[in-house]
A and B are shown apart, each in its own frame.
Chain A
Amino acid sequence: MIRKFINGIGLFFLMLAASSPSYAFKEGRGPGEIPDIPGGWQHLFNEMLIDITVIGIIFAAITIYFLIRYRRRHPGQEGRPPKLTVAAAVGWALIPAFIFMADDLYLAAEGWTLYNDYRTVPENAYEVKLEGAMWSWNFTYPEGVETVNELRVPAGTPIVVRMTSRDVVHSFFLPDFKVKEDLMPGRVTYLWFYPKEPGEHLITCAEYCGVIHSSMRGTIIAMPKDEFNKWIEAEKKASAEGGA
């Protein structure tokens, strides 16, 4: 009975691995095509949710069955434990171990692929420098323009942010783009994201950085490309005049 269940789990994962058009085995992307990170995240997360729910329900169902089936009927009753032969004992250790390991490696393979997408910055990404401080986000554009707590970016272009910190550890967290990375003094880290459409997105700090950690937030404003170009030109001029 139990063994059937256990076999069932193994079969389930085999089928999952063989049949689902999973993220790991998706057809290759064309040159210059930008991976859909939030979509990939959601896909993998859903898949994992199914995986852990199925495992959880199998374990819980067996437990509940045992709890009801094997309750004590009269005082003084003792269990009738099954005699395990050496082969059965070894089997009960190795077979589940290999099933768990197979599931782990399957998930690891999928996660590995998505992680590589997370960390491979697409070509021709627009690079912005970020310095975190208690408590502000300070952006510097390649054109020399500087902004605080507001990152204006051209929509339809992948953006890479190279980050460091002036004082303590912060974490640049973009919930809409399903990504974060810490900022540390003395080290440069990076993340990239892809604002497809114009719109506003939240920036919020995810590493404890002192009294008003929870108020350390900012906004990403993705603008249409030509508007962004106009804005950056105007800013450049303004800062040049301010500097002179």
Chain B
Amino acid sequence: MYTASQTISHKGGFGQTLKEWIFTIDHKRIGILYLIGSLAAFAVAGLMAVLIRIELGSIGPTITNPQTYNTWLYFHGAAMILAFQIPALTGFLANYLVPLMIGAKDMAFPRLNALSLWLFWAGIIVALLTFVIPDSPDIMWTGYPPYSLRSGGNTAFYVFTVHLMGFSSIVGGINLITTIIYMRAPGMTWGKLNIFVWSTLGAFILQLVFIPVLAAAVTMLLLDKYIGTHFFDPSAGGDVLLYQNLFWFYSHPAVYVILLPTIGIMFEIIATFAKNRVFNYKMVVYGGIGGVVLLSGEVWIHHLFTSGMPDWIRLGMMVSTLMISVPVGLLMIGLIGTLYRGAIQYTTPMLYAVGFIFLFLIGGLTGIPNAMTAIDLYIHDTHFIVGHFHYVMAVSGTFAIFGSVFYLFPKMTGKMYNETLGKIGFVITFIGVNVTFFTMMVVGIKGMPRRYFDYQQFPQLEGLQYMVTVGAFIIGLGALITLITWIHGLAAGKKAVDNPWSSHSVEWMTSTPPPPGNFHPIPRLSEDWHPYGYGS
């Protein structure tokens, strides 16, 4: 078999090193390149968020005009989801961790892995190019027709970003699923897989099943706009709701593509730092992860609760959406139960995991009002939903990414980050997200619709909006400190040992940073080994 260790020497001058990184087929380097790309998207889209908040800080035009503001909103949404969260969680984390966790030398298809990385970078470039072109898209990340067909913005850039990212995910998904099925180390049975591996498996099954639907939807958009077909044009027999249905048929499961690896890595961090066995492993895997995968495709109509869908399907999907609380509740019981009788050590990654539990509680429970069709007729498309999904998806996912970068920092770089700096960054970010997104939900309950440039009809909300803006600056500060912590750790961190967290999981059995080929030799796992076999 062709493996990374035979092709990459990991030695030589700067030019040689650069070439090795660019043409790498080593899953660890590919993972890190995914991380760099997605963090770049996060930085730009985060800057957009701050600009958006400055604009909304006061009534009337503050720093820009509506057209530019709408392109910021578009970029913030599209880049954060398509270029930051999904690639960071399924690209970086899954790529870096899964082969190490299952004790494999590399992915099953290292060259396909490089292809998915290149497609991702092409997607990042196309996404960032929207700042250069004069007609940058203003169609929001949902791209609903007929507006996206009539808009002067360049819908094609949106479509191609989705195509490239989607293709990258499909290639990565095939690769990851094959790797998990066929490349596990001897002794690594299905019952001993890390929760993160299970959750990645679930996430990639969702990607493989649902991405083609999104690709079809945006391709029809492209054809409608530039070739002259009429899929979404009612005057020629098309239907505008067709797009909304297809779009959310993928994009709701996409939320679980983000959620599953998020929860998965939180299980790893909490089990490691509580030095405890995962509570009720089988319940978490079959009830929690399996339940989410099974239910994820049956709830998308809750995005169309006010779109004139027939009443019977709105009520049906209200029930199925509420039912999502069952598997997600089991996952929460698993997470909190893992703390029970543990020996909790409060490092920076553990703080992110603990913060995640609280944020995810708020985010998950505020999903229930959205799921109720009758309640949703009022709060649909208001700031309430914006606050809710930032809690449950955006911030939770970002905490998972930040936490896992801290968690894996010694393994990736061979150096330790500064704990104090890391904790300061966490505390500031945690305060910031609560100030921002909780206030945002309050604003929404008072009736403020989303995607507004101005809100002269709601003068009473200016004070609260100002507070949201202050929160956004606090988050920005926290993220900046976190970034500084990483750079400081890279430049001046102390040398890390192979297993700084004393974890029992396989990824910590190799040297730090892992050599090409990961394990020499491949670990043979004994009968009584378990990734969470603490306290025995």
Please say whether chains A and B are actual partners in one complex. Answer: yes
**A residues lining the B interface (CB < 8 Å):** 2, 40-41, 44-45, 48-49, 51-52, 55-56, 59-60, 62-63, 66-67, 70-73, 76-82, 84, 89, 92-93, 96-97, 100-101, 103-105, 107-108, 111-112, 114-115, 118-119, 167-169, 171, 173, 175, 178-182, 184-187, 189, 202, 204-215, 217
CA distance A66 to B341 in the complex (A): 8
Q: Is the CB of B240 within 8 A of A184?
A: yes
Q: Which residues of A contact B365 (CB under 8 A)?
A: 52, 55-56
Interface contact B369-A45, CB-CB below 8 Å: yes
- B341 CB contacts on chain A under 8 angstroms: 70, 79-82
Number of interface residues of B (CB under 8 A): 82
Interface members, chain B 315-343 (any A CB < 8 Å): 315, 318-319, 322-323, 325-326, 329-330, 332-333, 336-337, 339-343
B386 at the interface (CB under 8 A from A): no
Q: Mark B372-409, 1 if CB is under 8 A from A, else 0.
A: 11110110111000000000000000000000000000
CA distance A67 to B502 in the complex (A): 20
Asked whether, in the complex, the Cβ of B534 is within 8 Å of the Cβ of A214, the reply is no
Residue numbers in B under 8 Å from A215 (CB-CB) = 454, 456
Contacts of B116 in A (CB 8 A): none
B366 touches A (CB below 8 Å): yes
Closest to A179 in B: B377
Q: List 9 A-B contacts (CB under 8 A).
A: A41-B374, A41-B375, A66-B344, A73-B343, A79-B534, A81-B276, A208-B140, A209-B147, A213-B452
How far is B357's CA from A6's CA once the two chains are assembled, in angstroms? 18
With the chains together, A44 CA to B369 CA distance in Å?
Answer: 9
Q: How far does the Cβ of B474 sit from chain A's closest Cβ, in whole Å?
A: 22
Q: State whether A206 touches B344 (Cβ < 8 A).
A: no
CB distance from B427 to the nearest CB of A (A): 15
Cβ of A181: which chain B residues have Cβ within 8 Å of it? 306, 308, 377
The 8 closest A-B pairs by CB, nearest first: A186-B234, A79-B276, A175-B447, A189-B308, A214-B452, A104-B322, A79-B342, A114-B374
Q: Which of B203-211, B217-225, B280-288, B477-485 contacts A (4 or more CB under 8 A)?
A: B280-288
A67 pairs with B375, CB closer than 8 A: no
Whether B343 pairs with A70 at a CB distance below 8 angstroms is: yes
**What A residues does B315 contact at CB under 8 A?**
112, 115
User: Which of B354, B366, B378, B534 lies in contact with A78, CB distance below 8 A?
Assistant: B534
Q: B280: which A residues are within 8 A, CB to CB? A: 84, 89, 92-93
Q: Give A114 to B534 CA distance when docked, in angstroms.
A: 51
Question: Are A208's CB and B146's CB within 8 A?
Answer: no
User: Which residues of chain A come closer than 8 Å to B323, judged between CB atoms?
Assistant: 101, 104
- Contact between chains at A107 and B368 (CB < 8 Å): yes
Cβ-closest chain B residue relative to A119:
B311
